[in-house]
Amino acid sequence: MLIITRRPGEKIMVGDDVVVEIIEVSGSSVRIGIAAPKSIPVYREEIWAAVQAENRAAAASDVAQLPDDVPTPSKKS
Amino acid sequence: MNVILQSSRFGELQIPAEAVLDFPAGLIGLGGRRFALLARSEESAFVWLHSMDDPDLAVPVTNPWRFFEDYEIELGDDEAERLGISGPEDASIYVTVRSAPALDDFCANLRAPILVVGNQGHQVINQAAIAPVRAPLFAGLQEEPSRAA
């Protein structure tokens, strides 16, 4: 892992396309701006990890457990 | 023209080429670029989002409003622009489901819906305040004992 020291307003390039800027440091939190091409989604790691775990769990679903006709809540009129 | 899908769950299937969806960023944390939606019938509650490239990779999905009437999806303007949508009518929306031996334990991921726009699919992070990663799918039914008959 590359570990570098930056000050607010300073930036980091990841390849030619991704710019990470340190916006503000306040106590134990850091505000970061990320400019990336539209094709690269940017996620908070803990959300990415939670969704990955859920995707894996969903992918482990068993066909036999999924009924063809399940009860669904009736629509409110 | 059809594309052959080898599926470890469903065997060999013929998929119309125009039904193959491109997921430029895959499913979050799983990857995969080409998927197809497989349903037993028009009325099926559960539809399988099946990888065209990995015979084992398939995820059941459902229309979230079928189970969660008040479900809302909030996307940042940047993200909506990235996906090329200006409103909910521009996308078909699904949420992933994890099955379980008992219906009570079925869950849907309301935090990371899948938007299908044209022939592209995108799993996105929902910014709405109430959007759990694991929402019980059949919790709403318990208030309707009349449906149990």
Length of chain A: 77
Bridge partners, residue A12, by sequence = A20
Least confident of A5-9, A21-25, B21-25, B80-84: B80-84
Are the beta carbons of B27 and A55 separated by less than 8 Å?
yes
Is the Cβ–Cβ distance between B112 and A30 less than 8 Å? no
More confident residue, B82 or A34: A34
Cβ under 8 Å to B: A residues 10-49: 38-41, 43, 47-49
Q: Which residues contact B149 (CB under 8 A, 6 or more apart)?
A: none
Query: Tell me, what's the ipTM?
Result: 0.89
- The CA distance from B110 to B41, in Å, is 24
Chain A residues in contact with B43 (beta carbon < 8 A): 69
Chain B residues in contact with A55 (beta carbon < 8 A): 27-30, 59, 96, 109, 112, 123
Q: Is the pTM of this model over 0.90?
A: no
Q: What is the pLDDT of residue A73?
A: 61
Q: Which residues contact A24 (CB under 8 A, 6 or more apart)?
A: A8, A30, A31
pLDDT band at B141; cut points 50, 70, 90: low
Is the Cβ–Cβ distance between B52 and B34 less than 8 Å? yes
Are the beta carbons of B28 and A71 separated by less than 8 Å?
no
